[in-house]
Amino acid sequence: MSAVGSAIKRKEDPRMITGRGNYTDDMVLPGMLHAVFVRSDEAHAKITVDASEARRRPGILAVFTGEDLGDVAAPMPMAWVPPGIEVKTPERWPIARGEVNHVGDPVALVVGRSRGEVADGAGAVVVEYDPLPVVTDPEAALEDGSPLVHEALGTNRSHEWSLGGGDIDAGLAAADVVVERRIVNQRISGAPIEPRSAIADFRADELTLWSSTQVPHFVRLFMAIVLGTSEDKVRVVAPDVGGGFGAKLQFCAEEVAVSWASRKLGRPVKWTETRAEHMAACHHGRDQVAYVRMGATKDGKLTALHVKIIADFGAYFGMLTPTIPELGAFVMTGVYDIPAVKTDIIGAFTNKCMTDAIRGAGRPEATHLIEVCIDQLAAELEIDRLELRRRNFIAADSFPHEVAYGVIYDSGNYQGTLDRMLEHFDYGAFTEEQARLRERGIYRGVGFSTYTEICGLAPSRVTGPEGFGLQTGLWESAVVRVHPTGAVTVFTGTSGHGQGHDTVFAQIAADRLGVSPDVVEVVHGDTGTGPMGLGTYGSRSMAVGGESIAKAAERVAEKAKQIVAHQLEAAPEDIEVAEGTFRVRGTDKGMALAEISGIAHVRPELLPEGMEPALEEHAFYDPENFVFPFGAHACEVEVDVETGRVTVTKYLAVDDCGNPLNPMLIDGQVHGGITQGIGQALYEQIRYDDAGQLITGTLVDYALPTAAEVPSFVTDRTVTPSPVNSLGVKGIGEAGTIASSAAVVNAVIDALRPLGVSYIDMPCTPLRVWTAIQEAQR
């Protein structure tokens, strides 16, 4: 029986359910020191740091300021150089030098013997702030005369970038109705439950860094550059990582500072952030203001979509900050056949923490505005929301489909997922009950989101220096090693942090080698083992990483077939992998992988003439295209119009991520993704006041959904394989988040339309909903 396609229980679970996981903060090294950062209390100021008292305190070995780190070889890197476009990039150092630009900016690093002593020491560092004017609103930041976040840049405007195709003016002119909306996609936190943590051990001129990261290979590359050493002197290990959601897709200033301190002090140094630090200083996501114009004829045919996005990047750039809204532009046409689509992006600096990738990264923002505006348009045209969608779906027989601005969608069947969703949801019955309940003052609504997204990041020829402009390839790597006894180790360049890679990658290799997934170990997250890889983000681990493993395993299988053919005097093409053996087709003669590997390792003289010993192959894979998962989601809500409180009463998701490799893991990714989208739609918001003070600095102020805020979900799938890879798979890690916020908000608007509410921004908190009702009734 094939392992791929089975809901196999996870191999990683036994250690985690018994408390024997190994997260970075769990580790203790001999002689290890502890470190904490002193962080800015001010949003914008010149600073003077006096650490003399702190340095005298018991247990404190050193206090380092930005000036102390003056010998780092390069500022913190940003990886995007789009051809022909200037991106103004502020200089950022691991610790601030003379000026802070947001609350939480690192000001000093205190290193000492114990957790308590460094906390006390940090309290003794005196920072004098000479305040500078503050700007926190991205649109205000772009106006003439605004305070400048970075005087040296002379502007708060980082860059402008556009992607479009077709004639927008003609499309809007041909429209009978043009919906215009200003849509705010608020700033959120990734908030993995494990805060960031790093242990640096610099000895004999070589650095080992354990870090809670999604991208150990990127961290090694950039660490070598910033510390002025070479990559062979740096090893980065991501042990068990307690969630990422993009928050750990970063090369962190803190990682550099502790590594530098370990080199300076000759001892291992550990830093684990507090939750307050995470909220203030780990990059945020979203924070875009979009001006949308969506045009259609009176019979509901979309004619044009123009979107101007003002993206609030905060004070600095992380590794990918200015590229995030652009990712949304790649799917701005959504699932619709629109003849003219254009996205214009303007980046703005403000005195807030930097933004970067958070689960979905640009695509949730795009999907939200498209799907909310489709509903707005349906209301204007008085056409049913699903009917309007159907009239504009890209037809299932037109794939691969080139959209107006040149991106090619690999495969899709949008009508199919919508039809399947409606098998689980009786729209007519809902509408009737909704009307009955309204008479009793109970306000229910349903919202839909029919989405696609772009993932499987890769392909390098599109994303790389001559294309989009990322200064890296985005291929992936794998090594499949069969040990002499027939056990298998798979090394992958991806770096899982909850996705279940240990299990599903084992399934992929097992099928190709005729063994059980139980004997396949997966190793990831360590630059000291296996080849270079690019990490886990952008829903790429299966479509790029998984395909690499399939390729490497196929190569092993090919070699094994040659060995078997040679032993059994058959032709290699007559050997098949079936029922756990490599056997001669149509016979009962065959050999198990353990026997084959035994010969390859122990009796190489029995191998075919010229064949190298052992049984190990590697593969590097760079796909031809992205992959485009899609689906249809429906959300039911009930709104208490007296309090404004929104309750999600039902949520249905039909997704299509191509061939399902482990359905249990897919459902898990969808559940978590939906909940993150519900969180943004209803609860989550990073807020600053006008002085740049962070209002939502703890999990008391920043509301993550709990078990009591979400329902159980109904999930189903259709299967439309991707033609891009041999597995036929697409990513699923971000899809739930990308789809769900629009479904929730559309449901809230649907519930409140009888009260005159026709639009609302996220998060739909009780106060905002109540206020919207009051204003509509006025």
Q: How far is the CB of 616 from other proteins (least distance, A)?
A: 30
250-279 mask for other proteins (x: CB under 8 A)?
A: ----------------------x-xxx---
Among 5, 6, 16, 137, binds other proteins (CB under 8 A): 16
Q: Please enumerate in sequence order all residues whose Cβ is within 8 A of that of 481, keeping only pairs 6 or more positions apart, or say none.
A: 488, 489, 490, 491, 615, 616
Among 104, 192, 246, 590, binds other proteins (CB under 8 A): 192
Among 699, 726, 765, 766, binds other proteins (CB under 8 A): 699
Among 153, 710, 755, 776, binds other proteins (CB under 8 A): 710
Q: How far is the CB of 582 from other proteins (least distance, A)?
A: 32
Q: How far is the CB of 706 from other proteins (least distance, A)?
A: 4
Report how far apart the first and last C-alpha atoms of the chain are (Å, whole number).
65
**Contact call for residue 612 and other proteins (CB under 8 A):** no
DSSP 59-121: TEEEEEETTTTTT-SSPPP--B--TT---------SS--SEE-STT-EEEEEEESSHHHHHHH
Residue 496: Cβ within 10 Å count: 25
User: Which of 607, 612, 597 shows the shortest CA–CA distance to 487?
Assistant: 597
Pick the stretch among 43-51, 434-442, 663-671, 742-750 that binds other proteins (CB under 8 A). 663-671
With respect to other proteins, which residue has the nearer C-beta, 460 or 669? Answer: 669
307 φ, ψ (degrees, to nearest 5): -130, 125
With respect to other proteins, which residue has the nearer C-beta, 24 or 351? Answer: 24
Which helix (DSSP H) or strand (DSSP E) does residue 665 occupy?
Answer: helix 663-682
With respect to other proteins, which residue has the nearer C-beta, 369 or 747? Answer: 747
Euclidean distance between CA atoms 49 and 562, whole angstroms: 69
With respect to other proteins, which residue has the nearer C-beta, 279 or 488? Answer: 279
With respect to other proteins, which residue has the nearer C-beta, 374 or 665? Answer: 665
Q: How far is the CB of 711 from other proteins (least distance, A)?
A: 9
With respect to other proteins, which residue has the nearer C-beta, 32 or 174? Answer: 32
**Contact call for residue 9 and other proteins (CB under 8 A):** yes
**Contact call for residue 21 and other proteins (CB under 8 A):** yes
Euclidean distance between CA atoms 86 and 232, whole angstroms: 33
Residue 305 to residues 69, 159, 276, 566, 723: CA-CA distances in angstroms? 49, 22, 40, 62, 28
Segment 34 to 93, residues that bind other proteins, using CB under 8 A: none
CA angle 620, 469, 495 (to 5 degrees): 40
**Contact call for residue 674 and other proteins (CB under 8 A):** yes
* Interhelix angle 501-513/547-568, nearest 10 degrees: 30
Among 14, 31, 133, 467, binds other proteins (CB under 8 A): 14
**Contact call for residue 30 and other proteins (CB under 8 A):** no
Euclidean distance between CA atoms 103 and 566, whole angstroms: 69
With respect to other proteins, which residue has the nearer C-beta, 250 or 350? Answer: 250
Q: How far is the CB of 194 from other proteins (least distance, A)?
A: 4
Number of H helices, E strands in the chain: 20, 28
Q: How far is the CB of 704 from other proteins (least distance, A)?
A: 5
State the chain's maximal CA–CA distance in angstroms: 90
**In 411-517, beta strands by DSSP E:** 443-452, 476-482, 488-492
Pick the stretch among 122-130, 190-198, 370-378, 749-757 that binds other proteins (CB under 8 A). 190-198
Q: How many residues bind other proteins (CB under 8 A)?
A: 56
Among 90, 530, 590, 668, binds other proteins (CB under 8 A): 668
Cα radius of gyration rounded to whole Å, the chain = 27
Among 12, 167, 526, 558, binds other proteins (CB under 8 A): 12
With respect to other proteins, which residue has the nearer C-beta, 270 or 481? Answer: 270
Instruction: Retrieve residue 23's tokens.
Output: 């997260």
List of residues contacting other proteins (CB under 8 A): 9-10, 12-14, 16-21, 23, 25-26, 115-116, 191-195, 240-245, 272, 274-276, 497-500, 664-665, 667-668, 671-676, 698-700, 704, 706-708, 710, 712-713, 736
